[in-house]
Homo-oligomer: A and B are copies of this chain.
Amino acid sequence: MVKANGNYLKLPGSYLFSTIGKKVREYSAANPEAKIIRLGIGDVTQPIAPAIIEAMHKAVDEMGNAETFKGYAPDLGYEFLRNTIAENDYKARGCNIEADEIFVSDGAKCDCSNIQEIFSLDNKIAVCDPVYPVYVDSNVMAGRAGDYNAKTETWSDVIYMPCTADNGFAPQIPDKTPDLIYLCFPNNPTGATITKAQLQEWVDYANKVGAVILYDAAYEAYISEENVPHSIYECEGARTCAIEFRSFSKNAGFTGVRLGFTVIPKELKAGDVALHGLWARRHGTKYNGAPYIIQRAGEAVYSAAGKEQLKAQVAYYMNNAKYIYEGLKGAGFTVSGGVNAPYIWLKTPNNMTSWEFFDYLLEKVQVVGTPGAGFGPSGEGYFRLTAFGTYENTVAAVDRIKNAGL
């Protein structure tokens, strides 16, 4: 008699952004005339840059021609892309990462959620709180999170590292020793970063206790301050304790194009098992590579024209971030983030819960954000706004929130 995976049934409610989507669809259906501004899910609004469009047209034509047609891609991704990534994202920053340590994929979300699969089920995970829900949810589905406590909204086998105003939204080394440490900087949702010296402490700690850091650097392109590391491999010793995830979704607007990559250094081991080999085995057996056309799009991200055009795109979004930050701060809200990240982290006014604030903004002024509680217990009382809207919508949304009677 077939049985379902009981771990899936432990998950309370649906995936955060699916829930938000549902609430917004229901509100629109009930209020068809309402002009909703979405600063909730971190989706981009600027079109794909011309240099990338050109590269995709060229690749599409190659696929239509017998001489240049491409079938199955190499397991780890095309060399032209892996070489470009190694050069630009790593060697150019003095990080010693080789092309054959890079695994091209269809996005960081898939990699972040699948990576736990190559580790033992009895490994303990530690996560920042609040944080991108995929880290915990994927471990719940695998059976690594223990049981859910509806009262505290925490999982019995997960080590939470609170990131609150008190510690400047930077996690502290936990009391219990984890085996897998999820770090995400610039952080989603708080927009906070840590310095290279602070990250070095994590690398030293992981090497000391034999833990692996799963480092999500999806928002690296938004770093504007000196002394904030773009890659964990800028730290001494990271090659023996860290896996890094990168995405093209936010630096190049690929949320609908789908491309990302994962870096696993050859020296990185669990006991005497090289993790590079395990991830390669997963790629070979359970994945078939990102489309050739999309891998060519990724290559164009690093072309001279592509870099120029994307610099402008990032600047456009960061100008939105500045507008939200200053506008709401000026209106008396408590805000953080927005300097090295496209996210503004807002304290909910009048002691509203974050879902109460979500409903209030949706119903009163038709602005959609993301409730902090959706990112973990320490997110309660906070709210995330993204800078990925158009400038016009961003300005309108800030004005609406100012006039929401809060």
| Chain A residues engaging chain B, CB cutoff 8 angstroms | 1-6, 8-9, 11, 14-15, 17-18, 41, 43-50, 53, 56-57, 60-61, 63-66, 69-73, 75, 106-107, 109-110, 113-114, 117-123, 133-134, 137-138, 141, 179-180, 209-212, 253, 255-258, 270-271, 273, 275, 278, 281-282, 284-294
Indicate which residue in B3, B211, B255 contacts A123 across the interface (CB closer than 8 Å). Answer: B3
**Which of A44, A60, A64, A273 counts the most chain B CB atoms within 10 A?**
A60
* Residues of chain B within 8 A of A44, CB atoms compared: 71
**Within the assembled complex, what's the spacing in Å between the Cα atoms of A292 and B258?**
9
Nearest B residue to A211 by beta-carbon distance? Answer: B2
Indicate which residue in B53, B109, B119, B211 contacts A64 across the interface (CB closer than 8 Å). Answer: B53
Nearest B residue to A113 by beta-carbon distance? Answer: B286
| B70/A5 in contact, CB under 8 A | no
Copies in the complex: 2
| A256/B117 in contact, CB under 8 A | no
**Given A66-B46, A106-B288: A5 in contact with B294 (beta carbons within 8 A):** no
Shortest CB–CB separation between residue A186 and chain B, in angstroms?
20
A-B contact pairs, 9 of them (CB 8 A): A2-B123, A3-B123, A5-B117, A5-B119, A43-B71, A57-B57, A71-B256, A106-B106, A257-B292
**Given A5-B117, A271-B4, A289-B258: A284 in contact with B69 (beta carbons within 8 A):** no
* Residues of chain B within 8 A of A14, CB atoms compared: 281, 284
Can you list the 9 inter-chain pairs with the closest CB atoms, starting with the nearest? A3-B120, A53-B64, A113-B286, A43-B71, A15-B284, A4-B273, A4-B270, A1-B210, A70-B256
Nearest B residue to A122 by beta-carbon distance? Answer: B3
| A281/B11 in contact, CB under 8 A | yes
* Residues of chain B within 8 A of A53, CB atoms compared: 60-61, 63-64
| A69/B47 in contact, CB under 8 A | yes
| A4/B256 in contact, CB under 8 A | no
| A270/B72 in contact, CB under 8 A | no
Shortest CB–CB separation between residue A7 and chain B, in angstroms?
9
* Residues of chain B within 8 A of A291, CB atoms compared: 106, 256-258, 291, 294
**Given A60-B53, A64-B47, A256-B63: A107 in contact with B288 (beta carbons within 8 A):** yes
| B73/A256 in contact, CB under 8 A | yes
| A285/B1 in contact, CB under 8 A | no
**Within the assembled complex, what's the spacing in Å between the Cα atoms of A65 and B179?**
45
| A286/B114 in contact, CB under 8 A | yes
| B46/A113 in contact, CB under 8 A | no
Shortest CB–CB separation between residue A331 and chain B, in angstroms?
28
